[in-house]
Amino acid sequence: MGELKRDSFTLPGESGYEALTLKMAEKWGADVIRDSDGTQLSDEIINSGYGIYSTICLIRSDNEWAKQNKDKLQQNFLMSFPVMAEGDTVTISPLKGFFTEQFTIDTHTDAKEFWQVFDRTTQKEVPLSDWEFHASSGLVTIKNTKKYHYYTVNFLAIRLWEEISMYNHITNNWGEKEHLMAIEPRYPEAQKQILSWLENWCISHPATTVVRFTSMFYNFAWFWSDKKNCRDIFSDWGSYDFTVNPIALREFEKQRGYKMTSEDFIHNGNYNQTHNVPSKKYRDWMDFINEFVVSFGKQCVDLVHRYGKKAYVFYDDSWIGVEPYGTRFPEFGFDGLIKCVFSGFEARLCAGAQGIETRELRLHPYLFPTGLSGEPTFAPGGNPKLDAQKFWQNVRRALLRKPVDRIGLGGYLHLIEPFPDFCDYIEKVTDEFRLLKSFHQSGKPYCIPGKIVILTAWGKLRSWTCSGHLHEHPEVDLINILESLSGLPFEIEFKSFEDIQTSGIPKDTAVIINAGTLNSAWSGGDYWKEETIIEKITEFVANGGGFIGVHEPSACDFSSQFFQLAPILGVDKDLGTKKCLGKYQYSVTADSFITAENPIITLPVCDGIFVLNEEVNVFAEVNHTPIITGHCFGKGRAVYLSGYQYGIENTRLFLRAILYAAQKEDAIQSYICSNPMTECAYYPASQKIVFINNTGDMQKTSVQTLEGKTFQVDLKPYDIEILTI
Amino acid sequence: MGELKRDSFTLPGESGYEALTLKMAEKWGADVIRDSDGTQLSDEIINSGYGIYSTICLIRSDNEWAKQNKDKLQQNFLMSFPVMAEGDTVTISPLKGFFTEQFTIDTHTDAKEFWQVFDRTTQKEVPLSDWEFHASSGLVTIKNTKKYHYYTVNFLAIRLWEEISMYNHITNNWGEKEHLMAIEPRYPEAQKQILSWLENWCISHPATTVVRFTSMFYNFAWFWSDKKNCRDIFSDWGSYDFTVNPIALREFEKQRGYKMTSEDFIHNGNYNQTHNVPSKKYRDWMDFINEFVVSFGKQCVDLVHRYGKKAYVFYDDSWIGVEPYGTRFPEFGFDGLIKCVFSGFEARLCAGAQGIETRELRLHPYLFPTGLSGEPTFAPGGNPKLDAQKFWQNVRRALLRKPVDRIGLGGYLHLIEPFPDFCDYIEKVTDEFRLLKSFHQSGKPYCIPGKIVILTAWGKLRSWTCSGHLHEHPEVDLINILESLSGLPFEIEFKSFEDIQTSGIPKDTAVIINAGTLNSAWSGGDYWKEETIIEKITEFVANGGGFIGVHEPSACDFSSQFFQLAPILGVDKDLGTKKCLGKYQYSVTADSFITAENPIITLPVCDGIFVLNEEVNVFAEVNHTPIITGHCFGKGRAVYLSGYQYGIENTRLFLRAILYAAQKEDAIQSYICSNPMTECAYYPASQKIVFINNTGDMQKTSVQTLEGKTFQVDLKPYDIEILTI
């Protein structure tokens, strides 16, 4: 594969290790060398003829300016911890419990303009006339309180420490090193400063070919407490909480004609986690922020372009408002998008973004001594080759389905020296990557016809993600489903309820999937009260479509059914209010297409599931509770799964559930590996079948073409085999 | 104990077995002989000098009259099974799916007066002008329907078969035997007929000393389907659904000034199960029915009294409207109340009723060949002695705390002949019973001071019950708690939320218990939005009271907390909407008073429970979810249990939880057995300590008096020991 080398790979270089840098660039076929947080590139590296990536973060770049403009730092709303009234007055210290190196109270703005005080026992707002904020003491006093009620203050905070700087500083014990602050780019003075800093930077970095923005202006929400053993008060990868400040709130009101209140962000202290159904107002706010981020972001990108450099954006950290799946994303003019990946769905997230030329993955493990949970990686006791194999196994199956343009690593290059097997393995990975990319360039891989539509409250905007990494919220059904789907031979589309209401279900849809728990954005909450949604999905299934519901699909405590699609699914859930209603006594259908390859089924159980009638097939149960059912409805079919966890075996189960729902059971015969521990992709244009082994063991597998020819291969652990047919 | 014989025991006699009847009456010390369903008493028995109980059921007694007055049979509302619109008209056969030997459509009343048709997709009522009932075909046609929506008809049914007659008939294959019908006593003609039948009956049964009513007029709700393998459509021991009919509906409107709709009973097809929070309207209806049942019931009782007989009422079957814990119950003038019992809480249910002279228990096993689940009892393979031991073990511990006046058996006496060990054991039971009763007559047993208040939506009206037997809904936390409490040395009081709102918490309350799941009557649902409830309970605990919350106590999806008493409990539950909020990382307190005697803890887990802060003690956890916590609040204490299942070990755990919450840990030292497999009661007036063995094994146990003296006993399996101190 030698001729493919020196392409599509980004190497983290390290000053002081020039020989190692150039050696690894050669071995891994790098065409670009990058700096990383904490590393620099020496002139020797910069002038070695490789492309040069440089990372910048605009909002925390000029800390001197930030220190001189503390009234122009970024802000957000916080809810104080509740305080019980012991009489008719209550005093609250709003910041109590929060990490005061991160937050301070905004004393520049009149509290009465934006703050709200609530009686959280009655959920009633306390009139403005009944509370006062005393800037001198930092306390709020509330009068006319009711004894034994709990009160909270929604207040505007200023952030004193940019969160990524804060996290790295504290995790790595940076001691006296300066705390970086995030400036608010809505202030005209801040915009001017950012653009002038960026221009100077471009001038002083002539060797840089690609400027990597980390990322734009607003970090995902991350509130810290003052307790070292319970750092997170709130943490969500997709939340817009950090975009709030007086100037934005006032502009929003002017532009949109109505006012956002603090409670629109606070939501009883739950804030705006991506897992919850977003309100209409919150979606408006997101749009308003996105409009600004794109508009000012474009000025930054244009400036970079003027200096003959490319502009890439990192799809993490300060990515809020960037929205690569939003309609405005192409307007930025970015040349590339970079995503760091643990999982297949993250590779698809990057691969599916439109409006850029280059999609690049940052692979794990990073070249750091320890991993995310503090376990050794590039340190004694670590096995970075095995880590790399496992991460690559996750990502590779997604790349079989949909390509990206580049991969790369990050961190401290010198750490690899004691791990030659890792170095050899990465060489193999880069070769594999280039080869797979070349197949995609010749033509798309074979897909089973018919679109799979994922129906959520977010729709396309949150394609291929449920906020954050799989290991952060492993209990979320949909993220597990996305991980399975990332490597399956289907075309996937993400639709919102509004999409269905306004444009209906895409004509070529084979199966709709709705997966999640009550009132989650993934299940849909009150959208299921909308009759047009019910009508359109019912019509779709009645006319031959497939529907897969997972955990609490279409759940909404409304009318006669809990699952609003219960008649289609053939199952419903009893919350206890139907305890005295007789439940149909089903028997389990032992042999079924869905479970044919899963002698042991491990799906999370959903308590209270019951079967409506004798027309429902129960394919598996746990403790007399159905966990997999099938139901014919009109000309279509519905499948219910009580929950979903990603795994190799469950991926096969899910593939079969889709084919059953789509009434395409025969599709399992063609280009699907006989051994579920392995997968393959067929590239008709290249006449190649790529087999991958998703395990650390040897595997035998075979596959049949559409024409009925069978091919068999032996696969080494985590290995790949390519057949020309 | 011979001198106590011939007292307090009711023997089921059997014609044809006169010698056996008299022999067992002597052996078991019966003072009364009864007939049973399917047995009769011969003159020889009737004239043998014993009191005679006779069972009657007024509403199904004169089937000839019922047949001639089919427009005066009992009725109820039913909801048709939902039907999907395939166009702009829908035809529904309301009875489809129901057991047509039980139900027929009421064609005597104008459908438009009471029926309602709903679009269950939108939960909107269909205008009267858009539907028609066609009496000739029995069909409802609906126009202007929306395609793919589901429609239901709430309709009035007439019941053709009284449910107990129906159940016995079908269970015992009575074949051609006549179906008994239940007449509606609101019709003046029916009342006249009932009274005249009863008078004739009294005249023709001169030997009867006690008339046992089975029970009054309305059976608990029991709707059957046409499917033999799924008989129950709805079944609830406490529901008033069978009290509904046109005459009652019209009278209600006249008397109460507003109208009950069909939907007030149908509730989306969930009907009015006792486990759900009753609406204000439904409570009004219950009161209206109770008023009638007491008023007409009193006429029946008075008539019986006029013939020199006593009147007892059976607390099952047609007991709806009788309400032994209602304020009107004493007005009936009943002499006795009879309850059949499997469990301790049922014994307390009977023992605690006021306004009657005699409380009597009907013990299990009944003298039938098979038990409830078809297992052999008095048949080859059965072990009725062991059955009797286990049931008596349940009931006896309750009778240690609170006495009843009589016990007895039911069924076919001749079946006991092959089981002499059973006969000997019942002799022992009757002797035990009389002895315990005599202790109570001398004075109450010692109780740990301070009242335990059970807080539910029903309050006193549903004292000592959660509707039905323990084995019917074993997942209901409160019924399990009641079973434990039935034998514990506490004074128990049942309070509703209205009680707390209007009268506050009783002064001598030590601990309040709230146990159940969201929106159950036992937890309380929307009552937890009432600020006065929160205020009064908070005040109570802040001032030193105890609170025990089980499963989803004070649960209501409202404001900032899910458990509205989260600040008191120190724990709350995340329904998924707080996924991104940091949770306090507790550590488990290994040694605690509550768990001191339970090395292994088996409580149901409640997913999503999290601890609020470091002030909460976690005493036990399962899979990182707390299952037992304690929290000091003001001067008081709260305990949270994730669920509760009755068992001997858990009873001890619950006792300790109460003492911990009440800050009365020292009370465990006095009159509490050292061995949790045993229990005791101390009767200060008699100077007796009664020890019971709650297991089938030998047990050693000891107890300490308040003065510090220790007594030790050895107990044979299921046995009792009495010490005079």
What digits encode the pLDDT tens for the residues B404-443?
A: 999 999 999 999 999 999 999 999 999 999 999 999 999 9
- Average the pLDDT over B45-57 and give the result: 93
Q: Give chain B positions within 8 Å (CB) of A274.
A: 580
Give me the residue label for tokens 């009992």. B74
Q: What is residue A2's predicted lDDT score, i.e. its pLDDT?
A: 43
CA nearest A149: which of A96, A86, A93, A91? A86
Instruction: Report the C-alpha gap between B293 and B319 in whole angstroms.
Output: 10
Please name the member of B235, B567, B585 whose beta carbon is closest to the beta carbon of A84: B567
CA nearest A539: which of A571, A570, A567? A567
pLDDT in tens, A214-265: 999 999 999 999 988 778 999 999 999 999 999 999 999 999 999 999 999 9
State how beta strands B625-633 and B616-622 pair: antiparallel
Q: What is residue A31's predicted lDDT score, i.e. its pLDDT?
A: 95
Instruction: Report the C-alpha gap between A580 and A391 in whole angstroms.
Output: 50
Q: Do B518 and A229 touch (CB under 8 A)?
A: no
Instruction: Report the C-alpha gap between B409 and B387 in whole angstroms.
Output: 13
The residue in chain B having the minimum alpha-carbon distance to the alpha carbon of residue A266 is B560
Q: Do A233 and B535 touch (CB under 8 A)?
A: no
Instruction: Pick the residue of A83, A126, A563, A579 with the most B CBs within 10 A to test the interface with B by mutation.
Output: A579
pLDDT at B75 over 60: yes
Please name the member of A146, A150, A230 whose beta carbon is closest to the beta carbon of B582: A230
A105: closest CA of chain B, how far (Å) = 21
Pick the more confident residue, A229 or B637.
B637
Q: Give chain B positions within 8 Å (CB) of A457.
A: none
pLDDT at A694 over 70: yes
Instruction: Report the C-alpha gap between B85 and B107 in whole angstroms.
Output: 25
Q: Do B560 and A120 touch (CB under 8 A)?
A: yes
pLDDT at B2 over 50: no
The residue in chain B having the minimum alpha-carbon distance to the alpha carbon of residue A529 is B122
- Average the pLDDT over A108-132 and give the result: 97
- Average the pLDDT over A48-75 and give the result: 95
DSSP A60: G
Q: Give chain B positions within 8 Å (CB) of A123.
A: 558-560
pLDDT in tens, A304-361: 999 999 999 999 999 999 999 999 999 999 999 999 999 999 999 999 999 999 999 9
- Average the pLDDT over A713-723 and give the result: 97
Q: Do B518 and A567 touch (CB under 8 A)?
A: no
Q: Do A582 and B270 touch (CB under 8 A)?
A: no
Residue A438: band (very low, low, confident or very high) from pLDDT cuts 50, 70, 90: very high
A684: closest CA of chain B, how far (Å) = 42
> What number of C-beta contacts closer than 8 Å exist between A and B?
169
pLDDT in tens, B614-628: 999 999 999 999 999
The catalytically annotated residue of B35, B62, B236, B317 is B317
Q: Do A576 and B239 touch (CB under 8 A)?
A: no
Q: Give chain A positions within 8 Å (CB) of B578.
A: 270, 273
Please name the member of A234, A577, A584 whose beta carbon is closest to the beta carbon of B276: A577
pLDDT at B631 over 70: yes
Q: Give chain B positions within 8 Å (CB) of A567.
A: 82, 84, 150
In order, the DSSP letters of B569-580 are: HSEEE--STTTT
The average confidence (pLDDT) of chain A is 96
Please name the member of A268, A518, A577 whose beta carbon is closest to the beta carbon of B519: A577
Residues in chain A: 725
- Average the pLDDT over B352-379 and give the result: 93
Q: Give chain A positions within 8 Å (CB) of B271.
A: 580-581
CA dist B709 to B396, B669, B702, B704, Å? 26, 11, 10, 5
Contact B126, B83 (CB under 8 A): no
Task: Please name every residue paired with B588 in a beta bridge, in sequence order, or none if there are none.
Answer: B618
Please name the member of A148, A227, A578 whose beta carbon is closest to the beta carbon of B539: A148
- The ipTM (two decimal places) reads 0.95
CA dist A261 to B146, B457, B577, Å? 39, 36, 20
pLDDT at B137 over 50: yes
Q: Do A576 and B520 touch (CB under 8 A)?
A: yes
Q: Which positions ≥6 away from A499 have C-beta within 8 Å?
A: A459, A460
CA dist B190 to B285, B287, B294, B395, B662, Å? 21, 22, 16, 39, 54
Instruction: Report the C-alpha gap between A480 and A646 in whole angstroms.
Output: 5
The residue in chain B having the minimum alpha-carbon distance to the alpha carbon of residue A521 is B577
pLDDT at A564 over 90: yes
Contact B198, B301 (CB under 8 A): no
Instruction: Report the C-alpha gap between B638 and B544 in whole angstroms.
Output: 10
A433: closest CA of chain B, how far (Å) = 35
Instruction: Report the C-alpha gap between A682 and A684 in whole angstroms.
Output: 6
B214: closest CA of chain A, how far (Å) = 23
Sign of torsion over alpha carbons A41, A47, A51, A57: positive
The catalytically annotated residue of A106, A236, A317, A387 is A317
Instruction: Pick the residue of A547, A580, A587, A607 with the most B CBs within 10 A to test the interface with B by mutation.
Output: A580
In the chain, the amino acid numbered B623 is: N
pLDDT in tens, A618-646: 999 999 999 999 999 999 999 999 999 99
pLDDT at A1 over 60: no
Instruction: Report the C-alpha gap between B134 and A28 in whole angstroms.
Output: 82
- B699: helix, strand or coil: strand
Instruction: Report the C-alpha gap between A263 and A125 in whole angstroms.
Output: 10
Q: Do A560 and B146 touch (CB under 8 A)?
A: no
B540: closest CA of chain A, how far (Å) = 10
Tokens representing residue B33 in the block: 């002989």
Q: What is residue B39's predicted lDDT score, i.e. its pLDDT?
A: 75
The residue in chain B having the minimum alpha-carbon distance to the alpha carbon of residue A231 is B582
A125: closest CA of chain B, how far (Å) = 11
The residue in chain A having the minimum alpha-carbon distance to the alpha carbon of residue B563 is A121
A466: closest CA of chain B, how far (Å) = 12
Instruction: Pick the residue of B273, B476, B579 with the most A CBs within 10 A to test the interface with A by mutation.
Output: B579
CA nearest B360: which of B330, B329, B316? B316
pLDDT at B1 over 60: no
Residue A370: band (very low, low, confident or very high) from pLDDT cuts 50, 70, 90: confident
Residue B640: band (very low, low, confident or very high) from pLDDT cuts 50, 70, 90: very high
Q: Give chain A positions within 8 Å (CB) of B122.
A: 529, 531, 559
Instruction: Report the C-alpha gap between A659 and A594 in whole angstroms.
Output: 8
Instruction: Pick the residue of B152, B580, B625 with the most A CBs within 10 A to test the interface with A by mutation.
Output: B580
The residue in chain B having the minimum alpha-carbon distance to the alpha carbon of residue A229 is B585
A213: closest CA of chain B, how far (Å) = 26
Residue B3: band (very low, low, confident or very high) from pLDDT cuts 50, 70, 90: very low
Instruction: Give catalytic status of residue B719 as yes or no.
Output: no
Instruction: Report the C-alpha gap between A383 and A391 in whole angstroms.
Output: 13
Q: Do B582 and A152 touch (CB under 8 A)?
A: no
pTM: 0.96
Q: Which positions ≥6 away from B232 have C-beta within 8 Å?
A: A581, A582, B222, B223, B224, B225
- Average the pLDDT over B448-462 and give the result: 98
In order, the DSSP letters of B95-163 are: TTTB-TTTEEE--SS-HHHH-EEEETTTTEEPPGGGEEEETTTTEEEEESPPTT-EEEEEEEEEE-S-H
A266: closest CA of chain B, how far (Å) = 10
Direct distance between the N- and C-terminal alpha carbons of chain B, in angstroms, rounded to an integer: 19
- B67: helix, strand or coil: helix
CA A390 to chain centroid, in Å, comes to: 20
pLDDT in tens, B219-264: 999 999 998 877 899 999 999 999 999 999 999 999 999 999 999 9
Please name the member of A146, A560, A579 whose beta carbon is closest to the beta carbon of B473: A579
- Average the pLDDT over A58-83 and give the result: 97
Please name the member of A273, A558, A581 whose beta carbon is closest to the beta carbon of B270: A581
Q: Give chain A positions within 8 Å (CB) of B231.
A: 582
Residue B21: band (very low, low, confident or very high) from pLDDT cuts 50, 70, 90: very high
Please name the member of A269, A476, A580 whose beta carbon is closest to the beta carbon of B236: A580
The average confidence (pLDDT) of chain B is 96
Please name the member of A270, A531, A579 whose beta carbon is closest to the beta carbon of B581: A270
The residue in chain A having the minimum alpha-carbon distance to the alpha carbon of residue B269 is A560
Poorest-pLDDT segment among A319-323, B288-292, B586-590, B633-637: B586-590
Instruction: Report the C-alpha gap between B41 and B364 in whole angstroms.
Output: 21
Residue A3: band (very low, low, confident or very high) from pLDDT cuts 50, 70, 90: very low
